[in-house]
Amino acid sequence: MYDVISNKSIKFRFSITIIVIVVTMSIIFIYSNKMKDNIIKEYERYIDINLKLSDLSVEFNNRWLYFDSYYKYKDDEIRIKYYQTNNEIKKIIEYVLPYVNQDKDSSIYIRNLDTKNEWFQNNSYLVMVRDESTRSYDDYLDLRTMNSYISKHSSSLISSYLQFAEAKYSDVLDKYNMLDTNIYLLLTLTVVISMIIFKVVSDDIVKTLKNLSRYAKKLSNREWDTPDAIGDSYKELDEFTHALNHMKNSIKLYIEKINESARIESNYQSEKIKNIEKDKIIRETQLKLLQMQINPHFLFNNLNTVSRMAMFEGAANTVEIVDAVSKILRFNLSQRDSFIKLSDELEVVKAFAYIHNIKYEDRFSINYNIEEGLDDTKIPPMIVQLVVENSIKHGFVGMDKKGEININIYSREGFVVINVEDNGDGICKAKIQKIMGADDLEYSNNSTGLGISNIKKRLQLYFGRNDLLAIESSEGIGTKVRISIPT
């Protein structure tokens, strides 16, 4: 009689294999997501520096206007603005300098720009502090010439850094695409190796089970002289073999017990095989779900490509409208919270308005009057944008005059008040009462599908009040929508 029991365990082997697969796939996806986040941050940094460089060009222009105005009119208020503009220029240069120096060509422009800016500041101060009798018009002309050089250098710096940023971002994308390909190859290799391991183990188990089955069949035919089965495969199966051997030697006395044990063991093996098949189906389903995932930044990358192509082809309007669409799309896809910043909402409104100004050939304009310190106010998303959209698509239809929308935002008595007023056709009282009394959301073929009643319902749900939305309108004069956000 052989009582050899193997140290190899089926459960241990399957557990180790599954753990290795899970850990490997987790590491791969964590690393992949980290790389995606790094690419997004790097892209946003390039965008931020380009915007700062654009702001720098604007500040240079503003500074000259203030200097020229002060030179002519000697207004102290203009002089203060001139000093403030110089401080802002200094801050921007200090902020962008480490990033711009990463590019050899751009670093030359920024150093020259910094030198010329310092010369302009020193000489402009001297001109401004002199009395009228000692001022020289030649000094003024020198400053104007230097300002022209500064403007040209600023434009060259923006163009140079934009080319550098595009090249760097293209390199990062190439590396990411290569990484993505390697990740999928590694995942495929992991799955293939796992399937091979499972097949080898399964075949070994099946082979052992067949041997045990033949042995059990002999016992069922009362072949009591059959030699004991040899077990040296897996711990669980070897223990089963040992049990069969023990049962065979005791079978004459315990026939009923053996039959019952055989039935229980048969059910146990059947359930184990079913569980193995179920685990395999679950793993295959998880793999299919992973393969069906779509990288949401694919769309932004393509929009960025379209924008660059349009820019190189000289289609400035196309560049602007693609950027506006990209901004709105990014906002909608990345929006996860119930509240957003007021400044983010207004950025989307500006992008939306720009698209529709192109569509309607500048038949309307929007004026913004926002009290300082309210940019970080948290509001429900798309409430201002929906009101503006309602004015454009309904208030200005069929108008002969140019449409105008005034957005006034200010704080008052524990509320941030958002007034959106247009000079459109207006709304009749019956329709206002219908809108304010509606419980269901409005849907329309020529809008986003969300209307004023949607804003009213969301304000009520977010703040538990039904007095935060008001509409004032007269037919032929215009409409004023007031939204109050509790602070």
Mean pLDDT across the stretch 27-43? 77
Number of domains in the chain: 2
pLDDT at residue 448, as a whole number? 36
pLDDT at residue 444, as a whole number? 42
Task: Average the pLDDT over each of 18-22, 24-28, 332-336 and give the range with the smallest value.
Answer: 332-336
Residues 149 and 242 in one domain: yes
pLDDT single digits (tens) 420-477: 999 888 888 888 888 777 654 444 444 433 478 778 888 888 888 888 999 998 888 8
pLDDT at residue 307, as a whole number? 58
pLDDT at residue 46, as a whole number? 83
Residue 278 included in any domain: yes
Residues 356 and 256 in one domain: no
Task: Average the pLDDT over each of 27-31, 191-195, 271-275, 357-361 and give the range with the smallest value.
Answer: 271-275
> Under DSSP, is residue 198 helix (H, G, I), strand (E, B) or coil?
helix
Residues 274 and 383 in one domain: no
Residues 188 and 283 in one domain: yes
pLDDT at residue 85, as a whole number? 93
Residue 361 included in any domain: yes
Residue 86 included in any domain: yes
What does the alpha-carbon distance between residue 237 and residue 243 come to, in Å, rounded to a whole number? 10
Mean pLDDT across the stretch 24-49? 79
pLDDT at 338 > cutoff 60: yes
pLDDT at residue 282, as a whole number? 33
The H-or-E segment that residue 393 falls in is none
Residue 300 included in any domain: no
pLDDT at residue 359, as a whole number? 77
Residues 33 and 174 in one domain: yes
Q: Which of 293, 312, 327 is the last residue of a domain?
A: 293
Mean pLDDT across the stretch 132-142? 74
The number of angstroms, rounded, from the C-alpha of 106 to the middle of its chain's C-alpha atoms is 29
Q: What percent of the chain has pLDDT over 70?
A: 73
What does the alpha-carbon distance between residue 292 and residue 307 come to, in Å, rounded to a whole number? 28
Residue 377 included in any domain: yes
Q: What percent of the chain has pLDDT over 90?
A: 16
Amino acid at 486: P
Q: Which of 268, 293, 318 is the last residue of a domain?
A: 293
pLDDT at 293 > cutoff 50: no
E strands along 308-398, which residues?
340-341, 364-370, 378-379
Residue 366 included in any domain: yes
Torsion of CA 122, 123, 127, 130, to 10 degrees: 60
Residues 249 and 388 in one domain: no
pLDDT at residue 427, as a whole number? 85
What does the alpha-carbon distance between residue 135 and residue 5 come to, in Å, rounded to a whole number? 106
Residues 379 and 271 in one domain: no
Q: Which of 243, 266, 293 is the last residue of a domain?
A: 293
What does the alpha-carbon distance between residue 325 and residue 331 come to, in Å, rounded to a whole number? 10
What does the alpha-carbon distance between residue 201 and residue 193 come to, in Å, rounded to a whole number? 12
Note if the pTM is more than 0.75.
no
The chain-wide mean pLDDT, for the chain, equals 77
Residues 455 and 371 in one domain: yes
pLDDT at 357 > cutoff 70: yes
Residues 137 and 279 in one domain: yes
pLDDT at residue 61, as a whole number? 92
Residues 245 and 360 in one domain: no
Residue 321 included in any domain: no
Highest mean pLDDT out of 188-197, 426-435, 477-486: 477-486
CB 6 within 8 A of CB 231: yes
CATH number of the structural domain spanning residue 450 = 3.30.565.10
> Which one is predicted more confidently, 300 or 414?
414
109 by Cβ neighbours in 10 Å (0-12 / 13-18 / 19+) ranks as: buried
What does the alpha-carbon distance between residue 90 and residue 114 come to, in Å, rounded to a whole number? 9
pLDDT at residue 225, as a whole number? 66
Highest mean pLDDT out of 13-22, 236-245, 289-298: 13-22
pLDDT at residue 278, as a whole number? 40
pLDDT at 411 > cutoff 90: yes
pLDDT at residue 188, as a whole number? 84
Task: Average the pLDDT over each of 67-81, 134-148, 182-196, 246-260 and give the range with the smallest value.
Answer: 246-260
CB 233 within 8 A of CB 6: yes
Residues 87 and 236 in one domain: yes
Retrieve residue 403's tokens. 């449409």
Mean pLDDT across the stretch 373-382? 90
CB 144 within 8 A of CB 127: no
> Which one is predicted more confidently, 93 or 307?
93
Task: Average the pLDDT over each of 159-163, 252-256, 276-280 and give the range with the smallest value.
Answer: 276-280
Query: Count of alpha carbons within 13 Å of 353, Cβ hemisphere only?
Result: 22
Residue 415 included in any domain: yes
pLDDT at residue 136, as a whole number? 72
Residues 394 and 261 in one domain: no
Q: Give the domain extent around 73.
A: 1-293
